[in-house]
Amino acid sequence: MARNRKVCRDCHRVVDPDTNACPSCGSTSFTEDWAGYVVIAHPEDSEIAREMQVTEAGEYALKVR
C-alpha cells in the first residue's frame, strides 16, 4: 500500500492520486489524511463491510479525517 494514495471522504474507498472521481460513489471529495486499511473481497459475506456499509469489493480506509 502506498501512503500517497487518497481516500474518498464519502465512502472511504482508497484510490490512486490521479483519480478525479470515486469509482464507487462518484464523489470528488478526497483527502490524504486517513488511517487504517482494510481490503474487502466479498462484501456480501463480511461483517466489516456491513458495518462500513460497503457493497463493492475493494480497498477502504477505516478512519478518514
What local confidence, expressed as pLDDT, does residue 28 receive? 97
For the chain, what are the domain ranges? 6-64
Is the pLDDT at 52 greater than 60? The verdict is yes
The verdict on whether residue 62 carries a ligand-binding annotation is no
The verdict on whether residue 11 carries a ligand-binding annotation is yes
Domain 6-64: which topology?
Rubrerythrin, domain 2 (2.20.28)
What local confidence, expressed as pLDDT, does residue 3 receive? 59
pLDDT (tens digit per residue) in 2-44: 558 999 999 999 999 999 999 999 999 999 999 999 999 999 9
With cell 482494510, the residue in question is 38
What local confidence, expressed as pLDDT, does residue 2 receive? 54
pTM: 0.88
Q: What does the alpha-carbon distance between residue 60 and residue 21 come to, in Å, rounded to a whole number? A: 15
| Mean pLDDT estimate for the chain | 94
Q: Residue 19: what are its φ and ψ, rounded to 5°?
A: -75, 130
The verdict on whether residue 25 carries a ligand-binding annotation is yes
Instruction: Return the half-sphere exposure (C-beta side, CA atoms, 13 A cut-off) of residue 62.
Output: 6
